[in-house]
Structure 1
Amino acid sequence: MRNFGKIALFVAVVGLVVIAVTVSGPRLGLSEPIVGFGLYRSYLNPLGAAIAVLGVLAVVVHAKRKERAGIAAGAVATVIGLACLAPLMASTLNPPRRGAPINDITTDTVNPPAFEVIDETRAGARNSLDYGGAEVAAVQAAAYPDIAALETDLSPDEAYERALEVAGDMGWEIVAADAERRRFEATARTSVFYFADDVVVVVTAQEGGSQLDMRGVSRVGRSDQGVNAARILAFQEQFNQ
Protein backbone atom coordinates (compact mmCIF):
# COMPACT_ATOMS: atom_id res chain seq x y z
CA MET A 1 0.00 0.00 0.00
CA ARG A 2 3.05 2.27 0.12
CA ASN A 3 2.55 3.18 -3.56
CA PHE A 4 -1.23 3.56 -3.34
CA GLY A 5 -1.04 7.31 -4.06
CA LYS A 6 1.16 6.79 -7.10
CA ILE A 7 -1.19 4.11 -8.38
CA ALA A 8 -4.20 6.41 -7.93
CA LEU A 9 -2.41 9.23 -9.71
CA PHE A 10 -1.35 6.93 -12.56
CA VAL A 11 -4.94 5.76 -13.02
CA ALA A 12 -6.11 9.38 -13.02
CA VAL A 13 -3.58 10.39 -15.69
CA VAL A 14 -4.49 7.39 -17.84
CA GLY A 15 -8.15 8.36 -17.43
CA LEU A 16 -7.39 11.89 -18.63
CA VAL A 17 -5.61 10.51 -21.68
CA VAL A 18 -8.59 8.27 -22.47
CA ILE A 19 -10.98 11.21 -22.18
CA ALA A 20 -8.77 13.39 -24.35
CA VAL A 21 -8.61 10.73 -27.06
CA THR A 22 -12.37 10.22 -26.87
CA VAL A 23 -13.08 13.93 -27.29
CA SER A 24 -10.43 14.65 -29.93
CA GLY A 25 -10.78 11.34 -31.78
CA PRO A 26 -13.41 12.61 -34.26
CA ARG A 27 -11.32 15.68 -35.13
CA LEU A 28 -8.26 13.47 -35.66
CA GLY A 29 -10.21 11.02 -37.80
CA LEU A 30 -9.94 8.23 -35.25
CA SER A 31 -13.70 7.81 -34.81
CA GLU A 32 -17.04 9.11 -35.98
CA PRO A 33 -18.43 12.05 -33.94
CA ILE A 34 -21.42 10.05 -32.77
CA VAL A 35 -19.11 7.29 -31.50
CA GLY A 36 -16.92 9.70 -29.55
CA PHE A 37 -19.97 11.41 -28.08
CA GLY A 38 -21.51 8.08 -27.11
CA LEU A 39 -18.35 6.93 -25.34
CA TYR A 40 -18.04 10.26 -23.55
CA ARG A 41 -21.64 10.23 -22.38
CA SER A 42 -21.52 6.59 -21.25
CA TYR A 43 -18.18 6.43 -19.49
CA LEU A 44 -17.10 9.91 -18.31
CA ASN A 45 -19.10 9.85 -15.07
CA PRO A 46 -18.22 6.27 -14.01
CA LEU A 47 -14.57 6.94 -14.81
CA GLY A 48 -14.57 10.20 -12.86
CA ALA A 49 -16.25 8.59 -9.88
CA ALA A 50 -13.78 5.70 -9.85
CA ILE A 51 -10.79 8.07 -10.00
CA ALA A 52 -12.20 10.28 -7.24
CA VAL A 53 -12.89 7.31 -4.94
CA LEU A 54 -9.44 5.88 -5.58
CA GLY A 55 -7.88 9.26 -4.83
CA VAL A 56 -9.78 9.67 -1.56
CA LEU A 57 -8.79 6.18 -0.44
CA ALA A 58 -5.15 6.98 -1.24
CA VAL A 59 -5.35 10.16 0.84
CA VAL A 60 -6.84 8.27 3.80
CA VAL A 61 -4.31 5.44 3.63
CA HIS A 62 -1.30 7.74 3.40
CA ALA A 63 -2.69 10.17 6.00
CA LYS A 64 -2.72 7.39 8.58
CA ARG A 65 0.94 6.75 7.77
CA LYS A 66 1.76 10.45 7.59
CA GLU A 67 3.24 9.98 4.11
CA ARG A 68 3.05 13.42 2.52
CA ALA A 69 4.02 12.35 -0.98
CA GLY A 70 1.27 9.73 -1.04
CA ILE A 71 -1.25 12.21 0.35
CA ALA A 72 -0.34 14.72 -2.35
CA ALA A 73 -0.63 12.13 -5.13
CA GLY A 74 -4.00 10.97 -3.82
CA ALA A 75 -5.23 14.55 -3.55
CA VAL A 76 -4.28 15.28 -7.16
CA ALA A 77 -6.06 12.12 -8.29
CA THR A 78 -9.15 13.18 -6.32
CA VAL A 79 -9.15 16.61 -7.98
CA ILE A 80 -8.86 15.00 -11.42
CA GLY A 81 -11.78 12.70 -10.63
CA LEU A 82 -13.93 15.59 -9.42
CA ALA A 83 -13.01 17.58 -12.54
CA CYS A 84 -14.30 14.70 -14.66
CA LEU A 85 -17.56 14.86 -12.69
CA ALA A 86 -17.87 18.64 -13.10
CA PRO A 87 -20.18 18.44 -16.17
CA LEU A 88 -22.51 16.11 -14.25
CA MET A 89 -22.56 18.40 -11.22
CA ALA A 90 -23.14 21.48 -13.37
CA SER A 91 -26.04 19.87 -15.26
CA THR A 92 -27.56 18.68 -11.98
CA LEU A 93 -27.45 22.15 -10.42
CA ASN A 94 -28.51 23.88 -13.63
CA PRO A 95 -30.28 21.42 -15.96
CA PRO A 96 -29.72 22.39 -19.61
CA ARG A 97 -32.69 23.33 -21.73
CA ARG A 98 -33.83 20.42 -23.85
CA GLY A 99 -33.36 21.14 -27.55
CA ALA A 100 -36.31 21.05 -29.94
CA PRO A 101 -36.68 17.63 -31.61
CA ILE A 102 -35.59 18.89 -35.04
CA ASN A 103 -32.27 19.03 -36.85
CA ASP A 104 -33.18 21.17 -39.88
CA ILE A 105 -33.33 24.95 -39.36
CA THR A 106 -34.01 27.52 -42.07
CA THR A 107 -34.76 31.20 -42.42
CA ASP A 108 -37.47 30.36 -44.96
CA THR A 109 -39.78 27.55 -43.86
CA VAL A 110 -42.14 28.10 -46.82
CA ASN A 111 -39.51 27.75 -49.52
CA PRO A 112 -36.39 26.46 -47.74
CA PRO A 113 -33.10 26.72 -49.67
CA ALA A 114 -32.35 23.39 -51.34
CA PHE A 115 -29.05 21.52 -51.42
CA GLU A 116 -27.92 20.90 -54.98
CA VAL A 117 -24.36 19.60 -54.55
CA ILE A 118 -24.27 18.19 -51.04
CA ASP A 119 -26.41 15.07 -51.12
CA GLU A 120 -27.39 11.96 -49.20
CA THR A 121 -23.95 10.40 -49.75
CA ARG A 122 -22.24 12.86 -47.37
CA ALA A 123 -20.03 11.06 -44.86
CA GLY A 124 -21.67 9.74 -41.70
CA ALA A 125 -25.12 11.12 -42.55
CA ARG A 126 -28.16 9.53 -40.97
CA ASN A 127 -30.57 12.42 -41.52
CA SER A 128 -32.16 13.27 -44.84
CA LEU A 129 -31.77 16.60 -46.63
CA ASP A 130 -35.46 16.57 -47.56
CA TYR A 131 -37.27 19.28 -45.60
CA GLY A 132 -39.91 18.02 -43.18
CA GLY A 133 -42.56 20.53 -44.18
CA ALA A 134 -45.20 22.20 -42.01
CA GLU A 135 -44.58 20.00 -38.99
CA VAL A 136 -40.90 20.94 -38.78
CA ALA A 137 -41.73 24.57 -39.53
CA ALA A 138 -44.19 24.68 -36.62
CA VAL A 139 -41.66 23.23 -34.18
CA GLN A 140 -39.03 25.73 -35.36
CA ALA A 141 -41.42 28.67 -35.00
CA ALA A 142 -42.16 27.68 -31.41
CA ALA A 143 -38.56 26.92 -30.41
CA TYR A 144 -36.65 29.54 -32.40
CA PRO A 145 -39.01 32.44 -33.21
CA ASP A 146 -36.08 34.79 -33.87
CA ILE A 147 -34.86 32.87 -36.93
CA ALA A 148 -35.63 34.95 -40.02
CA ALA A 149 -34.07 36.01 -43.31
CA LEU A 150 -31.36 38.66 -43.18
CA GLU A 151 -32.10 41.86 -45.09
CA THR A 152 -29.22 44.15 -46.01
CA ASP A 153 -28.61 47.35 -47.92
CA LEU A 154 -25.71 45.70 -49.74
CA SER A 155 -26.14 44.86 -53.39
CA PRO A 156 -26.71 41.15 -54.14
CA ASP A 157 -23.13 40.70 -55.34
CA GLU A 158 -21.71 42.51 -52.32
CA ALA A 159 -23.91 40.51 -49.97
CA TYR A 160 -22.82 37.26 -51.59
CA GLU A 161 -19.13 38.13 -51.24
CA ARG A 162 -19.69 39.21 -47.63
CA ALA A 163 -21.50 35.94 -46.89
CA LEU A 164 -18.60 33.91 -48.29
CA GLU A 165 -16.16 35.96 -46.22
CA VAL A 166 -18.12 35.35 -43.01
CA ALA A 167 -18.41 31.63 -43.75
CA GLY A 168 -14.64 31.47 -44.13
CA ASP A 169 -14.09 33.41 -40.91
CA MET A 170 -16.36 30.96 -39.08
CA GLY A 171 -14.30 28.04 -40.34
CA TRP A 172 -16.83 26.51 -42.70
CA GLU A 173 -15.66 24.26 -45.51
CA ILE A 174 -17.07 25.64 -48.75
CA VAL A 175 -18.21 22.65 -50.79
CA ALA A 176 -19.68 24.49 -53.78
CA ALA A 177 -20.06 28.16 -54.69
CA ASP A 178 -22.04 29.66 -57.58
CA ALA A 179 -21.31 33.39 -57.89
CA GLU A 180 -23.68 33.81 -60.83
CA ARG A 181 -26.64 32.49 -58.84
CA ARG A 182 -25.26 33.88 -55.57
CA ARG A 183 -25.50 30.69 -53.57
CA PHE A 184 -23.06 28.38 -51.84
CA GLU A 185 -23.08 25.17 -49.85
CA ALA A 186 -20.75 24.41 -46.98
CA THR A 187 -20.06 22.08 -44.09
CA ALA A 188 -19.73 23.50 -40.59
CA ARG A 189 -18.45 21.48 -37.63
CA THR A 190 -18.94 21.80 -33.90
CA SER A 191 -15.85 22.56 -31.83
CA VAL A 192 -16.45 19.57 -29.54
CA PHE A 193 -16.76 16.10 -31.10
CA TYR A 194 -16.57 17.67 -34.58
CA PHE A 195 -20.19 16.98 -35.55
CA ALA A 196 -20.87 17.99 -39.17
CA ASP A 197 -23.80 20.19 -40.20
CA ASP A 198 -24.46 21.05 -43.82
CA VAL A 199 -25.35 24.63 -44.70
CA VAL A 200 -26.74 26.34 -47.78
CA VAL A 201 -26.78 30.12 -48.22
CA VAL A 202 -28.75 31.93 -50.95
CA VAL A 203 -28.71 35.68 -51.70
CA THR A 204 -31.59 37.22 -53.65
CA ALA A 205 -32.05 40.75 -54.94
CA GLN A 206 -34.55 43.00 -53.15
CA GLU A 207 -35.59 46.58 -53.71
CA GLY A 208 -32.84 48.75 -52.24
CA GLY A 209 -30.60 45.83 -51.33
CA SER A 210 -30.74 42.07 -50.94
CA GLN A 211 -31.98 39.24 -48.78
CA LEU A 212 -29.94 36.35 -47.43
CA ASP A 213 -31.57 33.02 -46.60
CA MET A 214 -29.86 30.11 -44.90
CA ARG A 215 -30.53 26.53 -43.95
CA GLY A 216 -28.55 24.20 -41.68
CA VAL A 217 -29.06 20.43 -41.40
CA SER A 218 -27.29 18.14 -38.93
CA ARG A 219 -26.06 14.82 -40.27
CA VAL A 220 -26.95 12.84 -37.15
CA GLY A 221 -29.33 13.16 -34.24
CA ARG A 222 -33.07 13.74 -33.96
CA SER A 223 -32.33 17.05 -32.25
CA ASP A 224 -29.41 19.35 -33.02
CA GLN A 225 -29.65 20.85 -29.51
CA GLY A 226 -30.08 24.30 -30.99
CA VAL A 227 -26.72 24.30 -32.78
CA ASN A 228 -28.02 25.22 -36.24
CA ALA A 229 -30.23 28.03 -34.94
CA ALA A 230 -27.32 29.44 -32.91
CA ARG A 231 -25.03 29.19 -35.94
CA ILE A 232 -27.48 31.09 -38.16
CA LEU A 233 -27.85 33.87 -35.60
CA ALA A 234 -24.06 34.05 -35.12
CA PHE A 235 -23.57 34.23 -38.90
CA GLN A 236 -26.09 37.05 -39.24
CA GLU A 237 -24.55 38.98 -36.36
CA GLN A 238 -21.08 38.69 -37.82
CA PHE A 239 -22.38 39.57 -41.28
CA ASN A 240 -23.67 42.90 -39.95
CA GLN A 241 -20.48 43.86 -38.15
Structure 2
Amino acid sequence: MKQAGKIALMVAIIGAMCVALMLFGARLGLWEPTTGLGLYRNFLNPLGAVITGVGLLATIIHVLRKEKGRAISGGVATFIGVLCLVPMITSTINPPVRSAPINDITTDTANPPAFLVLDDTREGARTSLEYAGAKVAEIQAAAYPDIAPLETDLAADAAYARALEVAQDMGWEIIASDAENHRFEATARTSVFYFADDVVVVVTELGSGSRVDMRSVSRVGRSDRGVNAARIRDFQQKFEK
Protein backbone atom coordinates (compact mmCIF):
# COMPACT_ATOMS: atom_id res chain seq x y z
CA MET A 1 0.00 0.00 0.00
CA LYS A 2 3.04 2.26 -0.10
CA GLN A 3 2.06 3.26 -3.63
CA ALA A 4 -1.59 4.01 -2.79
CA GLY A 5 -1.20 7.73 -3.46
CA LYS A 6 0.52 7.12 -6.77
CA ILE A 7 -2.13 4.61 -7.82
CA ALA A 8 -4.93 6.97 -6.79
CA LEU A 9 -3.38 9.81 -8.78
CA MET A 10 -3.06 7.60 -11.86
CA VAL A 11 -6.70 6.56 -11.51
CA ALA A 12 -7.68 10.23 -11.24
CA ILE A 13 -5.67 11.24 -14.30
CA ILE A 14 -7.11 8.41 -16.39
CA GLY A 15 -10.60 9.34 -15.14
CA ALA A 16 -10.05 13.00 -16.05
CA MET A 17 -8.98 11.93 -19.53
CA CYS A 18 -12.17 9.86 -19.84
CA VAL A 19 -14.27 12.88 -18.89
CA ALA A 20 -12.43 14.99 -21.48
CA LEU A 21 -13.24 12.37 -24.11
CA MET A 22 -16.92 12.44 -23.10
CA LEU A 23 -16.98 16.21 -23.59
CA PHE A 24 -14.81 16.53 -26.70
CA GLY A 25 -14.79 13.10 -28.34
CA ALA A 26 -17.28 14.20 -31.00
CA ARG A 27 -15.04 17.16 -31.88
CA LEU A 28 -12.23 14.65 -32.45
CA GLY A 29 -14.49 12.57 -34.70
CA LEU A 30 -14.65 9.62 -32.32
CA TRP A 31 -18.46 9.48 -32.15
CA GLU A 32 -21.69 11.42 -32.53
CA PRO A 33 -22.51 14.22 -30.02
CA THR A 34 -25.37 12.16 -28.59
CA THR A 35 -22.92 9.37 -27.76
CA GLY A 36 -20.70 11.72 -25.77
CA LEU A 37 -23.71 13.13 -23.95
CA GLY A 38 -24.95 9.62 -23.14
CA LEU A 39 -21.56 8.60 -21.74
CA TYR A 40 -21.45 11.78 -19.66
CA ARG A 41 -24.91 11.22 -18.20
CA ASN A 42 -24.36 7.53 -17.43
CA PHE A 43 -20.76 7.42 -16.25
CA LEU A 44 -19.66 10.81 -14.89
CA ASN A 45 -21.08 10.33 -11.39
CA PRO A 46 -19.89 6.71 -10.93
CA LEU A 47 -16.48 7.69 -12.24
CA GLY A 48 -16.31 10.66 -9.88
CA ALA A 49 -17.35 8.49 -6.95
CA VAL A 50 -14.65 5.90 -7.70
CA ILE A 51 -11.92 8.53 -8.06
CA THR A 52 -13.01 10.28 -4.85
CA GLY A 53 -13.16 7.01 -2.93
CA VAL A 54 -9.76 5.81 -4.10
CA GLY A 55 -8.25 9.22 -3.40
CA LEU A 56 -9.68 9.41 0.10
CA LEU A 57 -8.50 5.91 0.94
CA ALA A 58 -4.99 6.69 -0.26
CA THR A 59 -4.95 9.98 1.66
CA ILE A 60 -6.03 8.33 4.91
CA ILE A 61 -3.45 5.56 4.56
CA HIS A 62 -0.57 7.96 3.99
CA VAL A 63 -1.70 10.43 6.67
CA LEU A 64 -1.75 7.61 9.23
CA ARG A 65 1.73 6.62 8.12
CA LYS A 66 2.88 10.25 8.20
CA GLU A 67 3.86 10.08 4.53
CA LYS A 68 3.16 13.66 3.59
CA GLY A 69 4.21 13.57 -0.06
CA ARG A 70 2.15 10.49 -0.84
CA ALA A 71 -0.78 11.88 1.13
CA ILE A 72 -0.72 14.95 -1.14
CA SER A 73 -1.03 12.68 -4.18
CA GLY A 74 -4.10 11.11 -2.60
CA GLY A 75 -5.49 14.54 -1.85
CA VAL A 76 -5.04 15.67 -5.45
CA ALA A 77 -6.84 12.54 -6.65
CA THR A 78 -9.68 13.24 -4.20
CA PHE A 79 -9.95 16.80 -5.49
CA ILE A 80 -10.20 15.59 -9.09
CA GLY A 81 -12.91 13.14 -8.05
CA VAL A 82 -14.90 15.86 -6.30
CA LEU A 83 -14.63 18.06 -9.39
CA CYS A 84 -16.26 15.26 -11.37
CA LEU A 85 -19.10 15.21 -8.85
CA VAL A 86 -19.66 18.99 -8.90
CA PRO A 87 -22.43 18.88 -11.58
CA MET A 88 -24.39 16.33 -9.50
CA ILE A 89 -23.83 18.26 -6.26
CA THR A 90 -24.84 21.55 -7.86
CA SER A 91 -28.01 20.13 -9.43
CA THR A 92 -28.97 18.55 -6.10
CA ILE A 93 -28.54 21.76 -4.13
CA ASN A 94 -30.00 23.99 -6.82
CA PRO A 95 -32.13 21.96 -9.25
CA PRO A 96 -31.97 23.44 -12.78
CA VAL A 97 -35.06 25.09 -14.19
CA ARG A 98 -36.63 22.93 -16.88
CA SER A 99 -35.95 24.41 -20.31
CA ALA A 100 -38.71 25.19 -22.77
CA PRO A 101 -39.54 22.10 -24.90
CA ILE A 102 -38.52 23.75 -28.19
CA ASN A 103 -35.36 23.73 -30.28
CA ASP A 104 -36.21 26.34 -32.93
CA ILE A 105 -35.71 29.97 -31.91
CA THR A 106 -36.23 33.00 -34.14
CA THR A 107 -36.30 36.76 -33.84
CA ASP A 108 -39.45 36.85 -35.97
CA THR A 109 -42.06 34.25 -35.03
CA ALA A 110 -44.65 35.78 -37.39
CA ASN A 111 -42.43 35.44 -40.46
CA PRO A 112 -39.45 33.27 -39.44
CA PRO A 113 -36.45 33.31 -41.81
CA ALA A 114 -36.54 30.24 -44.03
CA PHE A 115 -33.66 27.94 -44.86
CA LEU A 116 -33.15 27.80 -48.63
CA VAL A 117 -29.96 25.73 -48.83
CA LEU A 118 -29.81 23.64 -45.67
CA ASP A 119 -32.58 21.06 -45.48
CA ASP A 120 -33.72 18.02 -43.53
CA THR A 121 -31.02 15.86 -45.13
CA ARG A 122 -28.24 17.68 -43.22
CA GLU A 123 -25.89 15.29 -41.42
CA GLY A 124 -27.16 13.85 -38.15
CA ALA A 125 -30.43 15.79 -38.28
CA ARG A 126 -33.38 14.44 -36.33
CA THR A 127 -35.40 17.63 -36.48
CA SER A 128 -37.07 19.51 -39.31
CA LEU A 129 -36.23 22.99 -40.56
CA GLU A 130 -39.90 23.64 -41.23
CA TYR A 131 -41.15 26.12 -38.62
CA ALA A 132 -43.80 24.51 -36.41
CA GLY A 133 -45.96 27.62 -36.23
CA ALA A 134 -48.07 29.29 -33.57
CA LYS A 135 -47.52 26.70 -30.83
CA VAL A 136 -43.73 27.08 -30.94
CA ALA A 137 -44.08 30.87 -31.19
CA GLU A 138 -46.24 30.91 -28.06
CA ILE A 139 -43.78 28.79 -26.08
CA GLN A 140 -40.87 30.99 -27.22
CA ALA A 141 -42.68 34.18 -26.23
CA ALA A 142 -43.21 32.83 -22.72
CA ALA A 143 -39.70 31.37 -22.29
CA TYR A 144 -37.59 33.97 -24.11
CA PRO A 145 -39.54 37.25 -24.29
CA ASP A 146 -36.33 39.22 -24.95
CA ILE A 147 -35.63 37.55 -28.30
CA ALA A 148 -36.47 40.16 -30.95
CA PRO A 149 -35.16 41.53 -34.26
CA LEU A 150 -32.05 43.70 -34.18
CA GLU A 151 -32.59 47.15 -35.67
CA THR A 152 -29.50 49.08 -36.72
CA ASP A 153 -28.60 52.40 -38.30
CA LEU A 154 -26.39 50.58 -40.79
CA ALA A 155 -27.48 50.30 -44.40
CA ALA A 156 -28.49 46.80 -45.47
CA ASP A 157 -25.19 46.12 -47.30
CA ALA A 158 -23.13 47.21 -44.30
CA ALA A 159 -25.33 45.32 -41.85
CA TYR A 160 -25.04 42.15 -43.93
CA ALA A 161 -21.26 42.46 -44.06
CA ARG A 162 -21.16 43.05 -40.31
CA ALA A 163 -23.45 40.06 -39.62
CA LEU A 164 -21.28 37.79 -41.76
CA GLU A 165 -18.16 39.02 -39.98
CA VAL A 166 -19.67 38.35 -36.55
CA ALA A 167 -20.76 34.86 -37.59
CA GLN A 168 -17.25 34.02 -38.78
CA ASP A 169 -15.72 35.44 -35.59
CA MET A 170 -18.05 33.20 -33.58
CA GLY A 171 -16.68 30.19 -35.43
CA TRP A 172 -19.76 29.36 -37.48
CA GLU A 173 -19.32 27.38 -40.68
CA ILE A 174 -20.84 29.48 -43.47
CA ILE A 175 -22.77 27.07 -45.68
CA ALA A 176 -24.20 29.57 -48.16
CA SER A 177 -24.08 33.34 -48.49
CA ASP A 178 -26.12 35.63 -50.75
CA ALA A 179 -24.88 39.22 -50.64
CA GLU A 180 -27.48 40.39 -53.15
CA ASN A 181 -30.37 39.27 -50.96
CA HIS A 182 -28.53 39.98 -47.70
CA ARG A 183 -28.83 36.49 -46.24
CA PHE A 184 -26.63 33.59 -45.26
CA GLU A 185 -26.95 30.14 -43.73
CA ALA A 186 -24.45 28.61 -41.34
CA THR A 187 -23.83 25.78 -38.90
CA ALA A 188 -22.74 26.51 -35.33
CA ARG A 189 -21.28 23.93 -32.96
CA THR A 190 -21.54 23.80 -29.18
CA SER A 191 -18.21 23.94 -27.35
CA VAL A 192 -18.83 20.68 -25.46
CA PHE A 193 -20.32 17.54 -27.03
CA TYR A 194 -20.07 19.39 -30.39
CA PHE A 195 -23.77 19.47 -31.19
CA ALA A 196 -24.62 21.11 -34.52
CA ASP A 197 -27.22 23.88 -34.75
CA ASP A 198 -28.21 25.50 -38.03
CA VAL A 199 -28.59 29.25 -38.39
CA VAL A 200 -30.06 31.56 -41.02
CA VAL A 201 -29.55 35.33 -40.92
CA VAL A 202 -31.52 37.77 -43.07
CA VAL A 203 -30.98 41.53 -43.31
CA THR A 204 -33.86 43.72 -44.45
CA GLU A 205 -33.65 47.37 -45.48
CA LEU A 206 -35.57 49.52 -43.01
CA GLY A 207 -35.91 53.22 -43.76
CA SER A 208 -32.47 54.76 -43.34
CA GLY A 209 -31.20 51.65 -41.55
CA SER A 210 -31.86 47.93 -41.56
CA ARG A 211 -33.23 45.06 -39.53
CA VAL A 212 -31.34 41.84 -38.79
CA ASP A 213 -33.40 38.70 -38.23
CA MET A 214 -32.08 35.26 -37.47
CA ARG A 215 -33.19 31.78 -36.62
CA SER A 216 -31.24 29.03 -34.85
CA VAL A 217 -32.38 25.38 -34.95
CA SER A 218 -30.91 22.32 -33.23
CA ARG A 219 -30.38 19.15 -35.22
CA VAL A 220 -31.27 16.84 -32.33
CA GLY A 221 -33.35 17.00 -29.18
CA ARG A 222 -36.83 18.19 -28.29
CA SER A 223 -35.40 20.92 -26.05
CA ASP A 224 -32.23 22.90 -26.77
CA ARG A 225 -31.70 23.85 -23.09
CA GLY A 226 -31.69 27.51 -24.06
CA VAL A 227 -28.65 27.22 -26.33
CA ASN A 228 -30.27 28.75 -29.43
CA ALA A 229 -31.66 31.74 -27.56
CA ALA A 230 -28.26 32.29 -25.93
CA ARG A 231 -26.62 32.14 -29.37
CA ILE A 232 -28.96 34.80 -30.73
CA ARG A 233 -28.30 37.07 -27.74
CA ASP A 234 -24.55 36.57 -28.12
CA PHE A 235 -24.68 37.34 -31.84
CA GLN A 236 -26.67 40.52 -31.31
CA GLN A 237 -24.36 41.75 -28.55
CA LYS A 238 -21.28 41.16 -30.68
CA PHE A 239 -22.94 42.80 -33.69
CA GLU A 240 -23.47 46.02 -31.74
CA LYS A 241 -19.92 46.26 -30.36
Range class of TM-score, shorter chain: over 0.9
- 2:62 corresponds in structure 1 to 62
- TM-fit CA distance, 1:58: 1.4
Separation of aligned partners in 2, 1:66 and 1:182:
71
Task: Give the aligned partner of residue 45 of structure 2.
Answer: 45
Residue type at the aligned position of 2:29: G
Report what 1:136 is aligned to. Answer: 136
Name the counterpart of 1:148: 148
Deviations 1:15-67 (A, max 9, x none): 11111122111111111111111111211111001111111111222333333
Per mean C-alpha deviation after superposition, the further-off stretch among 35-44 and 131-140 is 35-44
**CA–CA distance in structure 1, aligned partners of residues 203 and 69 of structure 2:** 65
- The separation in 2 between residues aligned to 1:72 and 1:204, in whole angstroms, is 62
The aligned amino acid for 2:202 is V
Deviates more, 1:201-210 or 1:69-78: 69-78
1:148 shift after superposition: 0.9
CA distance in 1, matches of 2:162, 2:8: 54
Aligned-partner Cα distance in 2 for 1:210–1:85: 48
2:10 alignment counterpart: 10
Deviations 1:105-149 (A, max 9, x none): 011111111111111111111111111111100000000011111
The separation in 1 between residues aligned to 2:29 and 2:5, in whole angstroms, is: 35
Spell out the pairing of 1:24-35 with structure 2 (5 A cutoff): 24-35=24-35
Moved more, 33-42 or 131-140: 33-42
- Separation of aligned partners in 1, 2:199 and 2:240: 19
TM-score (norm: length of structure 1): 0.95
TM (norm. structure 2) is 0.95
Equivalent in the alignment of 2:217: 217
Provide structure 2 residue ranges, at least 5 long, that are not aligned to the other structure: none
Q: Which amino acid aligns with 1:222?
A: R
Corresponding position: 1:166 with 2:166: yes
The amino acid that maps onto 1:167 is A
Q: Measure how far apart 1:190 and its partner are.
A: 1.1
Match of 1:81 in 2: 81
Counterpart check, 1:105 vs 2:100 = no
CA–CA distance in 1 between the matches of 2:127 and 2:101?
A: 13
Q: What's the secondary structure of 2:174's corresponding residue?
A: strand
What SS class does the counterpart of residue 166 from structure 1 fall into?
helix
Instruction: Give CA-to-partner distance per residue, 1:81-112, whole Å, 9 cap, x none.
Output: 11111222222233322211100001111111
Q: Aligned AA for 1:26?
A: A
Q: In percent, how many aligned pairs have the same letter?
A: 66
Q: How many residues end up aligned between the 2 structures?
A: 241
Moved more, 66-75 or 117-126: 66-75
In 2, the alpha carbon distance for the partners of 1:177 and 1:226 equals 26
Q: Supply the distance in 1 between the matched residues of 2:178 and 2:126 (Cα, whole angstroms).
A: 27
Q: What's the Cα RMSD here?
A: 1.3
Moved more, 137-146 or 21-30: 21-30
